[in-house]
Structure 1
Amino acid sequence: MRGQKPKLDNVVPMKADQTAPVPEAPGWMSAEGRDAWDRLAPVLAAKRRLDAAFEDPFAVYCEAVADVIRFTGDIAAFGSWYEVETRNGRQQKKRAVWGQRQDAIATMNQLAARFGMTPVDEARMSAGGQGDLFGEILRTLDGTD
């Protein structure tokens, strides 16, 4: 027996079939920062961690990634230290770019934790929350466990 054709507007898509929209990178970002945005934003959007309110902190994260890449290139090209002659003899000093890279890495680490981009923070964010402190004990006492 033939029935009427299915109406596609009443079909509910499966959760895996839904793709989250990926916002465009802000216009003030550098080219290297935009590259990081283009590489990482789809991943965070799929995990529902890139709402409009979080775009600016994520852009700062992407700029920190760009800085680490840029500063690492400078260190590779010019070295991480230089020598100076002092009254105590020759001394090796770190280049300024070394400290700049350390600052960018610290910014990356701090913001990566906020977006759940490390394995520990990913597990923390995907956990169901803190849970009930006495829930397991009460279920055991009630015999419902």
Structure 2
Amino acid sequence: MSLHLRGVKPPITSDQQPLTKVPKAPAYLSVQARAEWKRVVPVLVSRRVICAADLAQVETYCLMAGRVREIEEQFSAAGGLIDVKLFGVQNRAAQTARQIAATLGLDPVSRARLGNNAPEDDGDNPLSVS
């Protein structure tokens, strides 16, 4: 069975034309989204895993992470009362941010893939399928 059929994600490797300096955050980002940009983009640039074409995905991640924080601030301002509609929006934004973070290497599992470029060795496993 090939690696692609096992649900194993390919390792994250350096991009062929990675960004070498941190781009300025887009002007339309909210305060919370801009803070997330300033937190994660320097990390991605230093890891050499993003190029100019990836910036739209990074922007979306920052927008979604910022939206989660904005809604949480609204909940706090309302004394902890939760608006069910806002909670749904917050939940979807958090899911989207989590999914994009994984593709960018911003979660522990995808960070582990950064350092592991070798395929799995199933040689000693009698249950492995070749």
Q: Percent identity of the aligned residues?
A: 30
- Structure 1: state its 5+ residue gaps: 1-18, 82-93, 137-145
Query: Aligned AA for 2:113?
Result: R
- Note if contact 1:22-1:45 (Cα within 8 Å) is conserved in structure 2: yes
Aligned residues: 105
Structure 2 residue corresponding to 1:115, chosen from 87, 92, 104: 104
Q: Secondary structure at the match of 1:117?
A: coil
Name 1:47's counterpart in structure 2.
47
Structure number with the higher strand fraction is: 1
Pair 1:34 & 2:34 matched: yes
What is the deviation of 1:132? 7.1
Q: Which runs of structure 2 are paired with 1:18-97 in the superposition (5 Å)? A: 20-78=20-78, 79-81=80-82, 95-97=84-86
Cα distance in 2 for residues equivalent to 1:115 and 1:122: 9
Does the CA-based 8 Å contact 1:64-1:108 persist in structure 2?
A: yes
| Residue from 78, 82, 89 that aligns with 1:100 | 89
**1:26 match: secondary structure:** coil
Distance, in Å, in 2 between the alignment partners of 1:39 and 1:120 is: 19
Residue 133 (structure 1) shift = 6.8
> Could you say which structure has the greater relative contact order, defined with CA pairs below 8 angstroms and 6 or more residues apart?
2
Q: Name 1:128's counterpart in structure 2.
A: 117
Larger Rg: 1
Shift of 1:31: 3.1
In the alignment, structure 2 segments of 5+ residues that lack a partner are 1-18, 125-130
Partner of 1:20, secondary structure, is coil
Q: Please give the TM-score of this superposition, normalised by the length of structure 1.
A: 0.63
- Cα distance 1:104–1:125, how it changes in 2: closer, same or farther (>3 A)? same
Partner residue in 2 for 1:9 = none
Deviation at 1:35, TM superposition (A): 1.9
Question: Quick one: structure 1 residues 31 and 22, their matched pair in 2 at CA, closer, same or farther if it must change by over 3 Å?
Answer: same
What is the alpha-carbon distance in structure 1 between the residues aligned to residue 88 and residue 81 of structure 2?
Answer: 10
TM-score (norm 2): 0.69
Q: Secondary structure at the match of 1:24?
A: coil
8 Å Cα contact 1:68-1:101 kept in structure 2 = yes
C-alpha distance in 1 between matches for 2:118 and 2:60: 27
Deviation at 1:74, TM superposition (A): 1.2
Aligned CA RMSD, in angstroms, stands at: 2.3
